[in-house]
Amino acid sequence: MQTLKQIIHEVADQLPEQATLTDAIYSLYVRQKLAEGLSDLDEGRTYTQEEVEQKFLITNN
């Protein structure tokens, strides 16, 4: 497992030279959300398309 410092270095190395601090923060945010999504998949915390549609229909009626 990578340390936070390693992740920050990896993200920084992949940014273009003209990247802003906002670009860097956004890249870290996206990386975190992707990691959370993959963890949810591994743990079975997902919904099928049908389940989402059913929940949405019930909630919005």
Host domain of residue 45: 4-59
Q: What is the pTM of this model?
A: 0.75
Give the residue carrying structure tokens 């975190």: 32
Q: How far apart are CA 1 and CA 36, in angstroms?
A: 14
Question: How far, in Å, are 14, 38, 40 from residue 6 at the CA level?
Answer: 13, 19, 23
pLDDT digits (tens, 9 = 90+) for 7-56: 999 999 999 999 999 999 999 999 999 999 999 999 999 999 999 989 88
For residue 60, the model assigns a pLDDT of 65
Domain count for the chain: 1
Count Cβ atoms below 10 Å from residue 31 Cβ, excluding itself: 15
The residue with greater pLDDT, 61 or 20, is 20
Band of residue 61 on the pLDDT scale cut at 50, 70, 90: low
